[in-house]
Chains A and B, each alone.
Chain A
Amino acid sequence: MKFPYSETVLEHFRHPRNVGKIENADGKAIEGSPACGDMVSVYISVDPNTNKLTDIKFESYGCASNIATGSIITELAKGRTLDEARKITWKEASEALGGLPKIKAHCSVLAVEGLRSAIENYEERHGLVKEKKPTTVETVRKRLKKVMNPMAGLDLVRTNLVQDIEVKDGTVRVVVDLPPDHQFASAIKEEIMEKIKPLWDVKEVVVEFVE
């Protein structure tokens, strides 16, 4: 039989390592959405004394290269310091897997981004952000692209649910184009809070629903 992937890719695809969630993870991130095709979530546990990744887990909604990259990245990152883990590139992951088809780069780069975002999330939540850029409307919009609109399977920004964003004196106001009693309103609100609150200079997040 012939397969379009290397032996290592197939091995990780069939037996992915470190699959699952970490309850009360120190850092977590979701990259991609069903709309872009693939989706990866990454959970990390960090030893605050050594800044090393003591545990890492992932989940994947994706094709073989997405699953395999998620798996290899957990192996590469475990035991490394945050700074070391952040430097893992797609190329390094791809080489560790014995090569990935070029056309699959976009599905597999998600896992690498997922790891970086999880580290970023940890640093934000623990006041470790080094480069402190002020939060702007654009920063918020970028994060809202990772919040799903469960009705469409697409993110809030793409489905035009974000009516307005305001950033003022540490308060972020997000106006969502949905009735307050909508069945998904509370779930969407919770997800928005989760994405925006960790930003270092954000003190308060207000989510409003208007029809």
Chain B
Amino acid sequence: MLDRRQVYLDNSAATRLDERVLEAMKPYLFDKYAVATSEFAYSQGIEAREVMDRTREALALAMGAVPEEFIFTSGSTESSNIALKGVALALGNRKGKHIIVSKIEDFPVLNSARALEKQGFQVTYLDVDSDGFVNLDKLRDSITNETILVSIQHANQEIGTIQDIENIGHICREKGVLFHTDATHTFPRITLDVRRTPVDLITVSAHTIHGPKGIGGLYIHQGTRIAKWIDGGFQEFDLRAGLENIPGAVGFAKAVQLVTAQETEQLQSMRDRIIDRILAEIPDTTLNGHRWKRLPQNANISFHFVEGESITLHLDMHGFAVSTGSACFSRSLEGSHVIFGIGGDHERAHGSIRFTFGRYNTMEDANAVVNTLAEVVRELRSISPLGKENEK
């Protein structure tokens, strides 16, 4: 049966724009389309400068920072590239060429580190435990005199595990190395206040919180040595050139303003519902990531003996959009590096499904996807050569 109604449960990939965000952006697309670079030429430019200042201040404040510490970028990929490559460029010949990242970072961090490796940097890829946590002692032991930067995510994009970044930050401060964290999936839902948590660089993005695509930001702690990576004009305190994306910036600030603790609680209850129901109702399933220290919007479960792309396609035909860590799903034909990172085998990666909730989901969606899944998984298992031993 094909269901016409679409239920989108892939909110870590993209989110629906909130109408209130669009309304806030509209004036800057039509009447006030000048950019701040023109502030000394005409009054529209001054207005543009003012609105940039206001939104920058609001976003900086959301993490306890001052406006001068926040630059706008085109999104989290660019932010993480600036953080890793900018620090490498600034400190590589001055202090050392060693960088530490966790094994389960998202691709902007992981592949920036790999790119730097080709440029002669040494990279330590820190192991994580079976829940996805970085071991703090191992981190401390990995830092050498050559280390310039540690980059460990706030929460994982696939399995949702939230790292103890407060203590990671303290270790980095104590050892005198810079600390970058990718907060794409936590900001501003999970508090990260730079006045309490020692962090030097934070990657954030609007696309995960019902803001527009193509706008993100990077917090840069005052005094952090970082080289300019995108050359051109003098925008963003001469740290990132490029025409200011004013509608995007306004939309980002509005999106942050609309995130509430009450909503986060609702997401968490949907998350808990599907985790509890799937583990109880569908046999041979494994939760990926920590049960409680995880993103409120994220559930990730492996369905043994079946392949993830087959599950997603069946769910899609029933009107549910989810994602999988299966090799068949990725363009690189490699299974999820996150599932391998937490010690999972190919089979566990192959059958892993990620559900991420957003503002427009309801408890009804959470229940409906579990009901459909039970059917789909049963059907796929009936044609699978694996897992039949238990039936006899």
Question: Interface of A with B (CB < 8 Å)?
Answer: 1, 3, 5, 10, 13-14, 16, 19-20, 30, 34-41, 59-64, 66-67, 103-104, 106-107, 152-154
A60 touches B345 (CB 8 A): no
Q: Which residues of A contact B310 (CB under 8 A)?
A: 13, 62-64, 67
Q: A3-B316, A64-B309, A67-B310 given as contacts; is B383 within 8 A of A59 (CB)?
A: yes
Q: For residue B350, which residues in chain A have a CB less than 8 angstroms away from its CB?
A: 34, 37
**Contacts A13-B310, A62-B328 hold; do A34 and B347 have CB atoms under 8 A apart?**
yes
Which of B317, B331, B346 meets A103, CB within 8 Å?
B331
Can you list 14 contacts pairing A with B, beta carbon distance less than 8 Å?
A: A3-B313, A5-B313, A10-B317, A13-B310, A37-B327, A37-B335, A38-B307, A41-B385, A61-B305, A61-B307, A63-B310, A103-B331, A103-B333, A154-B346
Whether, in the assembled complex, B384 has its beta carbon less than 8 Å from a beta carbon of chain A, the answer is yes
Instruction: For chain B, residues 287 to 326, give those with C-beta under 8 angstroms from any C-beta of chain A.
Output: 305-310, 313-314, 316-317, 326
Specify which chain A residues have a CB less than 8 angstroms from the CB of B317 in the assembled complex: 1, 3, 10, 14
| Contact among B313, B327, B384 with A60 in the assembled complex (CB-CB below 8 Å) | B384
A36: B residues at CB distance < 8 A: 346
Which residue on B lies nearest to A107, using beta carbons? Answer: B328
Task: List residues of chain B with CB within 8 A of the CB of A66.
Answer: 307, 328
Shortest distance between the CB of B169 and any CB in chain A (Å): 37
Q: How large is the interface on B (under 10, 10 to 19, 20 to 34, 35 or more residues)?
A: 20 to 34
- Interface residues in B377-392 by Cβ distance below 8 A to A read 382-386
Residue of B328, B345, B384 with highest tally of chain A CB at under 10 A: B328
Instruction: Tell whether, in the assembled complex, residue B307 and residue A63 are in contact, meaning their CB atoms are under 8 Å apart.
Output: yes
Which residues of chain A come closer than 8 Å to B331, judged between CB atoms?
A: 103
Specify which chain A residues have a CB less than 8 angstroms from the CB of B308 in the assembled complex.
Answer: 63
In the complex, the number of residue pairs spanning A and B with C-beta atoms less than 8 Å apart equals: 81
Q: In whole angstroms, how far apart are the Cα atoms of A102 and B327 in the complex?
A: 15
Contacts of A5 in B (CB 8 A): 313
Complex contacts, B328 vs chain A, CB 8 Å = 37-38, 62-63, 66, 104, 107
- Ranked nearest first, the 6 interchain pairs of A and B with the lowest CB-CB distance are A63-B328, A63-B309, A59-B385, A34-B347, A153-B345, A41-B385
Do residues A37 and B384 form an inter-chain contact, with CB atoms below 8 A?
no
List, in ascending order, chain B residues with CB within 8 A of A13's CB. 310, 313
In the bound complex, do residue B386 and residue A34 qualify as a contact, i.e. CB atoms below 8 Å apart?
Answer: yes
A119 to B244, CA, bound (A): 65
The answer to whether B345 touches A154, judged by C-beta atoms less than 8 angstroms apart, is yes
Among B2, B333, B383, the residue within 8 A (CB) of A67 is B383
Nearest chain A CB to B315 CB, angstrom units: 12
A59 to B346 Cα, complex, angstroms: 19
Indicate if the CB atoms of B385 and A64 lie closer than 8 Å.
no
Contact A61/B316 with A37-B350, A103-B331, A152-B345 known, Cβ cut-off 8 Å: no
Option from A10, A34, A67, A104 in Cβ contact (under 8 Å) with B346: A34
From A20, A61, A64, A67, contact of B386 by CB (8 A): A61
Known: A39-B385, A63-B310, A66-B307. 19 other contacts (CB 8 A): A1-B2, A3-B313, A10-B317, A13-B310, A35-B346, A37-B307, A37-B333, A37-B335, A37-B350, A40-B385, A59-B383, A60-B385, A61-B307, A63-B308, A64-B313, A103-B333, A153-B345, A153-B346, A153-B347
Looking at the assembled complex, report how far the CB atom of B15 sits from the nearest CB atom of chain A, in whole angstroms.
20
Taking CB atoms, residues of chain A closer than 8 Å to B346 are 34-37, 153-154
Residue B326 contacts which of A19, A41, A63, A153 (CB distance < 8 angstroms)? Answer: A63
CA of A40 to CA of B307, assembled, Å: 12
Q: Are A30 and B385 in contact (CB under 8 A)?
A: yes
B229 to chain A, nearest CB (A): 32
Whether the Cβ atoms of A59 and B384 lie closer than 8 Å is yes
Q: Contacts A38-B307, A61-B307: A16 and B333 contacting too (C-beta < 8 A)? A: no
Contact B386 A16 (CB under 8 A): no
Most B CB within 10 A of own CB, among A66, A152, A153: A153
| B316–A62 touching, CB < 8 Å | no
If A39-B386, A41-B385, A103-B333 touch, whether A61 touches B306 (CB-CB below 8 Å) is yes
